[in-house]
Structures are given as structure tokens and as C-alpha cells.
């Protein structure tokens, strides 16, 4: 029976030279713990455009030994077009959303995947039916950080943010604010919320831009593990603690 080891706590700021090695080790260790709790279930990452779903999702899948899928890329393949921007332009947002739902439906019958969804996948209730077959993680990133990231890479691949003129940061910030308001609580349907502000505060930073995708992947694993433990019905009678915990998780 696999033993659950306590998380390795590495103080930050003291091993500057080895920080990335420590982070990589911590990520690996956390992924080994979470694999047990996942029991093959998929992870769906949700969050606003630019929140890091594609970047963090890839890291999580690699270290878990899961397959990674980006739903935007699957829609492009299904439609036979090279970009989401072109799908919006030639067809429509509604056409894109229909294909996005089909892709999520197909993925929902599979195991051992990390899926980076598109930022708008949360608005259709049927997509939640598919995503609830696995565990969903909301990457909650402050709007100003999102706008900074988007301004840096440009908006060509994100048609809802594309603008002909104006300061890129200001335009991205204003469009993201509008979308966040329209989407309301939709992201909060996720099983777990990973708040970059919370991680930064735990690490003693006042700015989320100091957080690496690895930091965010580690926190996501931590939150997933806690979620599974909290939602496991306790059965005090029976085998050793570890055995009964494993049985309960198998039946979740
Ligand atoms: N933790 C991070 N810190 C800084 N930049 C990041 C971070 N995570 C992602 N990015 C950058 O932000 C942009 C958007 O990330 P991406 O993973 O494509 O987000 P999403 O898939 O949620 O839209 C990319 O250019 C990516 O390199
Ligand atoms: O928020 C949205 O409505 C969208 C987000 C995009 O994905 P990312 O969140 O990966 O940028 C992409 O699906 C499309 O441009 C629409
Ligand atoms: Mg993406």
C-alpha cells in the first residue's frame, strides 16, 4: 500500500542557487501524492484568458505522466482551421462554442488527462456536466496581471481581446474586466480555486508576477489533494487507515 508522505516544506529565499531544483523536486513529490488521490480522473483547468491554463496544464500533465490536451487546439483540428481567431472570423463565436462543447464531451469519457480549456468554456452549463467527470481547477489571476501578460504576447490569437488600436495593456484590461463581469460566478463552479494572490501572500511576495508556472502547478496539486480528502466519506470501521482511505477514494 502506498504511503502518504507529508509535503516537503522548502523555505524560500534561502537557497537562491537551488531554487529551481527544489521547485522541480517539490513538484515531482506533490505529483506522486496527487496521483494516488486522482485515481485516474482527469484535471480540467479553467480561468480567464491568459491565466496560464495552457502553460500550467502542460507542466502538470508531464509530471503526472498524463496526456495533455488544449481544447482550443482540438477545436482547430476538428474544424480544420489553423487558429481560433480564424474560426471566429469565418464562422462565429457560437460555432466555436458548439465545437468546444463537442471536444469537452469527447474528452470527458477518457482517463488520465490534463485539459486546458478555453477561457469561455465555463459559460455553458453542459460543459460543466462534462468537466465534473474529472476535477476542475480555477486559476484565479488578478485582472491587471492578465492584462500585462496579454499585452506582452499580443491579442492576435485571442479574438475576443483583439483591438485595432490603443495602448495594449489598457485595452486588454478593459475587455477582460467586461468579460469577467459577464461571466460572473461561472469560474467558481470549479472544484478548487487556485488564487495567485494567495500563493504570493504565502510566499511573502506582494506581486503575483513573481510566481512561476511551477509554483502554480504545485499549489494546484495541493488544492486537488485537499479537495479529494475533504470529499471522501469517512468510514471509521475496517482496515488500517491507509487501506480504508484508499478504498474510499476508489469509490469516489
Ligand atoms: N506564471 C506565469 N508568469 C508569467 N507569465 C505567465 C505565467 N503563466 C503563463 N504565462 C504567460 O501568459 C501567457 C498566457 O498563458 P497561457 O498559458 O496561454 O494562458 P491561457 O491558456 O489560460 O490563456 C503566455 O504568454 C504565458 O507564457
Ligand atoms: O475566454 C474566451 O472566451 C476565450 C479564450 C481562449 O482560450 P484561452 O483562455 O486559452 O486564451 C479561446 O478559447 C477563445 O479565444 C475564447
Ligand atoms: Mg490556452
pLDDT for residue 7 is more than 50: no
Burial 159-173 (b: 16+ CB within 10 A, else e): bbbbeeeeebeebbb
The finding on whether 51 has its CB within 6 A of some atom of ligand 1 is yes
Asked if residue 77 belongs to a domain, the reply is yes
Asked if residue 82 belongs to a domain, the reply is yes
Kindly report which listed range (45-54, 159-168, 204-213) carries the lowest average pLDDT score.
159-168
Asked if residue 94 belongs to a domain, the reply is yes
Asked if residue 18 belongs to a domain, the reply is no
State residue 136 phi and psi, 5-degree precision: -110, 140
CATH of the domain at 165: 3.40.50.300
Q: What pLDDT does 240 receive?
A: 53
Which residues approach ligand 2 with their CB closer than 6 A? 49, 53-54, 72, 84, 118-120, 158-160
How far does the centroid of ligand 3 lie from the alpha carbon of residue 3, in Å? 35
Q: For the chain, what is the mean pLDDT? A: 89
How far does the centroid of ligand 3 lie from the alpha carbon of residue 146, in Å? 12
Position in ligand 1 atom list of the atom nearest CA 57: 17
Contacts of 143 (CB under 8 A, 6+ apart): 48, 173, 176, 177, 180
Asked if residue 188 belongs to a domain, the reply is yes
The domain tally of the chain equals 1
Asked if residue 20 belongs to a domain, the reply is no
pLDDT single digits (tens) 192-222: 999 999 999 999 999 999 999 999 999 999 9
Asked if residue 17 belongs to a domain, the reply is no
User: How far is it, in rounded angstroms, from Cα 245 to Cα 27?
Assistant: 23
pLDDT single digits (tens) 77-134: 999 999 999 999 999 999 999 999 999 999 999 999 999 999 999 999 999 999 999 9
Asked if residue 8 belongs to a domain, the reply is no
Percent of the chain past pLDDT 90, that is, above it, reads 79
Q: What pLDDT does 21 receive?
A: 85
- Please give the angle made by the CA atoms of 232, 234 and 240, to the nearest 5 degrees: 105
How far does the centroid of ligand 3 lie from the alpha carbon of residue 74, in Å? 11
What pTM was estimated for this model as a whole?
Answer: 0.89
Q: What pLDDT does 193 receive?
A: 98
Kindly report which listed range (9-18, 94-103, 201-210, 227-236) carries the lowest average pLDDT score.
9-18
CA distances from 76 to 26, 84, 166, 174 (A): 35, 6, 29, 27
Please list the residues that pair with 70 across neighbouring strands: 116
Which residue range forms the structural domain that includes residue 104?
40-225
Amino acid at each position: 500500500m502506498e504511503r502518504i508522505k507529508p509535503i516537503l516544506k522548502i523555505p524560500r529565499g534561502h537557497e537562491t542557487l537551488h531554487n529551481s531544483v527544489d521547485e522541480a523536486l517539490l513538484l515531482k513529490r506533490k505529483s506522486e501524492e496527487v496521483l494516488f488521490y486522482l485515481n485516474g480522473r482527469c484535471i480540467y483547468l479553467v480561468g480567464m484568458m491568459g491565466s496560464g491554463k495552457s502553460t500550467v496544464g502542460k507542466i502538470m500533465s508531464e509530471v503526472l505522466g498524463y496526456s495533455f490536451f488544449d481544447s482550443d487546439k482540438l477545436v482547430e483540428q476538428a474544424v480544420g482551421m489553423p487558429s481560433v481567431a480564424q474560426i471566429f472570423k469565418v464562422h462565429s463565436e457560437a460555432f466555436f462554442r458548439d465545437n468546444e462543447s463537442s471536444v469537452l464531451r469527447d474528452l470527458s469519457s477518457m482517463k488520465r488527462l490534463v485539459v486546458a480549456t478555453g477561457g469561455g468554456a465555463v459559460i455553458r452549463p453542459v460543459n460543466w456536466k462534462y468537466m465534473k467527470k474529472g476535477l476542475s481547477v480555477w486559476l484565479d489571476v488578478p485582472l491587471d496581471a492578465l492584462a500585462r501578460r496579454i499585452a506582452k504576447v499580443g491579442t492576435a490569437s485571442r479574438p475576443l481581446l483583439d483591438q485595432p488600436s490603443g495602448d495594449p495593456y489598457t485595452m486588454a484590461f478593459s475587455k477582460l474586466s467586461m468579460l469577467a463581469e459577464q461571466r460572473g460566478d461561472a469560474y467558481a463552479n470549479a472544484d478548487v480555486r487556485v488564487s495567485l494572490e494567495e500563493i504570493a501572500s504565502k510566499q511573502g511576495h506582494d506581486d503575483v508576477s513573481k510566481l512561476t508556472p511551477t509554483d502554480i502547478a504545485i499549489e494546484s496539486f495541493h488544492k486537488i489533494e485537499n479537495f479529494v480528502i475533504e470529499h471522501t466519506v469517512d468510514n471509521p470501521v475496517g482496515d488500517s487507515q491507509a487501506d480504508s482511505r484508499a478504498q474510499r477514494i476508489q469509490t469516489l
